[in-house]
Structure 1
Amino acid sequence: MTEVLPLPEATRAALAGITTASLTTILLKKGLRNVWMRGTVPIRSGQGRKVGRAFTLRFVPAREDLATPESWSSPISTRGAIEAMPDGVIAVADAMGVTDAGIFGDILCARMVKRQVAGLVTDGVMRDMAGVLGTGLPVWCRGAAAPPSVAGLTFVNWQQPIGCGGVAVFPNDVVVVDDDGAVVIPQALLDEVVVAGVEQERLEGWIMREVERGVALPGLYPPNAEAKARYEAARRAE
């Protein structure tokens, strides 16, 4: 299995201050249009923004000889995957968009909390939703369904490349989730995205202050040369 790389605390803290909306714009400028995972909706308000290395989980369509309750005791199972999760990761589960079988319930989510997993993202659904909410695990998914995962899916492995919500996610990519959903940052682009993201949030904060004092948008957003000069002057005056 792919070893999970540590995520520097400075990087985590910087990304915690960058919205997923900003991140999609930055990645779009770098040529990446498909980084927002479709169907990843927070299961409750107030979950905040979470940042972590992607720990990937892969399901395939159910096959009757493999997708059985007995498979839950296999070394290659969702239970085994959870025990392999280091603290601080965000579990990203490829459920192929299946919405009639819940991939995780309250007991598995409670164990993830004990493992100090930062959150769970999936293009599938959860089960035992009241219990899942009770665990406090931050989850982004497509909703709830009562049937267990084996009713529609076969779990096959973890820490492999997956597709989640139509987006390719590789182990050790970085995932950022907030109220707008989940975005993946390729590991190779991480450092430059962080630098660009911090600057974009600073610039847009200044633009918002300008809007609040009555400045019109043309020439301000996006900023023209005159607006950029005023922004730089305001930065130097801080």
Structure 2
Amino acid sequence: MNETTRALLRRVSTATLATALYKRGFRSQMIQGVLPLRTLGESMVGPAYTIRTIPAREDLNKLEVFRDWSHPQRKGVEDCPPGHVFVVDSRKDPRAASAGGILVTRLMVRGAAGVVTDGGFRDAAEIAKLAIPAFHARPSAPTNLTLHQPIEANVPIGCGDAPVFPGDILVGDNDGVIVLPAHIADELAQEATEMTAFEDFVQEKVAGGQSILGLYPPTDEANLARFAEWRRQHGR
């Protein structure tokens, strides 16, 4: 992806991006029900590399399948390009184990930008200590290796009710993960950066006691002039 876009997206929130997407008619891009295993200092950003699963059929999903080098999950871990986000459709079932500590470590070492699943992780406490952002739905019970079976990699999926196409840009922060259609990611990054500057200005003014009326949204022209001066002073 465009590295300037990647750098910009690391500094904007999923909430701001959701607003920018809403302006363009996109209302279902936030992956529902997933949160990071640890607090993030900056946003996770990267193109999607996807894994699709289906409910397991017991005779086709025994532990022996993991010996197969072409197994979609195992092969996917080795094929996911550096800088990409490994994202798994686990059908919104937190009982399903999308990966464990060893596989996530392998993704980290290979340079993946992050891991996202609407299922669960095994070894969640161990994964939380790794230097890779990881998002999952909190499991209500120990995750099950054989509840779902991976079927194919790098195809369109649904993850937490959001459509994810290979190459779409995933941005994850402490509120969750949002999916940016690849063809508008650059313009969304620029717009969200502008929106973030204005929101930082508004936050400062509101914290100082100013009313939101005429400020948010900026229907009073005087506030636009104040914002322009604030940007000049802060180099924004």
CA 1:143–1:47: 2 relative to 1, 3 Å: farther
Distance 1:47 1:162 in 2: 28
Distance 2:7 2:130 in 1: 24
Paired residues for 1:1-238 under 5 Å: 7-46=1-40, 48-74=42-68, 75-144=70-139, 145-150=141-146, 152-226=147-221, 227-236=223-232
Which stretches of structure 1, 4 residues or more, deviate above 6 A after TM superposition? none
Structure 1: where are the runs of 5+ without partners?
A: 1-6
Aligned sequence identity (%): 35
Distance 1:207 1:15 in 2: 20
What are the Cα deviations for residues 166-188 of structure 1, in whole angstroms up to 9, with x where unaligned? 00000010000000000000011
Structure 2: where are the runs of 5+ without partners?
A: none
The letter for the 2-side match of 1:119 is G
Shift of 1:236: 4.9
Distance 1:38 1:82 in 2: 24
Q: What is the TM-score normalised by the length of structure 2? A: 0.91
SS of residue matched to 1:214: coil
The more displaced of 40-49 and 56-65 is 40-49
Aligned residue pairs, count = 231
Shift of 1:213: 2.7
What are the Cα deviations for residues 100-139 of structure 1, in whole angstroms up to 9, with x where unaligned? 2312111111111111111111110011223323434321
What are the Cα deviations for residues 197-228 of structure 1, in whole angstroms up to 9, with x where unaligned? 11101111111222233211111111114222
Distance 2:32 2:11 in 1: 22
The more displaced of 96-105 and 139-148 is 139-148
- Report the aligned-residue RMSD: 1.7
The more displaced of 76-85 and 175-184 is 76-85
SS of residue matched to 1:146: coil
Distance 1:14 1:133 in 2: 25
Kept in 1: contact 2:2–2:186 (CA 8 A): no
Distance 1:197 1:77 in 2: 35
SS of residue matched to 1:199: helix
Kept in 2: contact 1:47–1:138 (CA 8 A): no
Shift of 1:233: 4.2
Kept in 2: contact 1:88–1:118 (CA 8 A): yes
Shift of 1:235: 3.5
Kept in 1: contact 2:87–2:115 (CA 8 A): yes
The letter for the 1-side match of 2:8 is A
The more displaced of 183-192 and 71-80 is 71-80
